[in-house]
Amino acid sequence: MIVETPYGCGDTSSHLLTSVPSVFTPVRFVPLNSREAFIRQVASTPSAVITGATVERNSQFASPFSTQIGNQIGKLCGKKAGITGINVMINASMKGHLATMCADDDFSAGFESQSGCKVVSVKGLNMVQLHGDAWKVQSGVGYVLEERENDFSNHAKEACLTAAASNPWSIILAANGGPTVSVNLARFLMLSSSNRVFAINGMHSEAGKSGASGSFKTTTESLDNAANSLNLLAPGFFQGKVKTGKDLQDELKKKPLILLDLDLSRGKGCTKSKYILEAGKENTDVSPGVSATRQLSSYCSAAVDIIMQQVASTQH
């Protein structure tokens, strides 16, 4: 590693680093010409795919217990790895700041705490060069994806998540969030197996809505754009898998989003409902999240029980 010296400053030997600073975190680099191969490898492994919000701890847009919910559900999913066959979790590294509540980091920390469970965090090179540690999560192994010099769409990492979701045995956990999560939701539902996409509504604020639960209205154009962007990012993998127009609408009708709602009646903790994502429509149901410590454990354990039931019902 060499620290650059301004032109004309003479001998640079004193600027050579003899060792990597201890504060550096190692990552694995994926060259642009290896992206397709990397995505195929990601897609070959059943994974728990995370997409969700990153918010301040006192945010009005999330449950104040979001970190605890992520940790507990991640941990419980890790404990069930022997049943599901899923011992890898993948996220898109959207940490932002050490003090945030971050779905990517919170679920991953809980999952990785279980024996034999691993976490993969993907991120794009251009954004890492712009923001540095804003893309650093504390869990797992980081993979930095090389991007074209003028590509600041930040979509390469989303292509990796979608490829992971396309594995027939993967599960997808969508946690709160806004438009980015809403776009990912459409991609995941399109390419995943039926009944494998779950909205963790316990992470909602009192307002009870989010991109993860389909609360943002979609259009035919926005759904088609979400699909077509995958072909631009990794055409060799997504070509032939991606659908648009009526074909996409028909596919989404077969793939309900499973909503995991907080339910305090009769000590249930959590109940499920289903929602079909459709162009021109939005989920108008309100599903407030966890607002008290006493609700936390019962919601998380019941939510994971429902996830396991759905996984069991779709396995051979």
Taking the C-alpha atoms of residue 198 and residue 101, their distance in angstroms, rounded to an integer, is: 19
Residue 5 lies in a domain: no
Residue 8 lies in a domain: no
Indicate the pTM of the whole model: 0.90
Q: What is the pLDDT of residues 166-190, one digit of tens each?
A: 999 999 999 998 887 888 898 999 9
Query: Containing domain of residue 43, as a range?
Result: 26-314
Nearest to 248 by CA among 260, 236, 231: 231
Residue 304 lies in a domain: yes
Predicted confidence (pLDDT) at residue 44 exceeds the cutoff of 80: yes
Element (H, E) at 95: none
Predicted confidence (pLDDT) at residue 124 exceeds the cutoff of 50: yes
Element (H, E) at 12: none
Residue 10 lies in a domain: no
User: Number of structural domains, the chain?
Assistant: 1
Residue 19 lies in a domain: no
Q: What is the pLDDT of residues 54-105, one digit of tens each?
A: 888 889 989 999 999 999 999 999 999 999 999 999 998 888 888 889 999 9
Cβ proximity of 228 and 240 under 8 Å? no
Taking the C-alpha atoms of residue 271 and residue 287, their distance in angstroms, rounded to an integer, is: 11
Residue 259 lies in a domain: yes
Residue 57 lies in a domain: yes
Q: What is the pLDDT of residues 226-281, one digit of tens each?
A: 889 888 888 999 989 999 999 999 999 999 999 999 998 878 899 999 999 998 89
Residue 261 lies in a domain: yes
- Angle between helix axes 156-165 and 220-233 (nearest 10 degrees) is 100
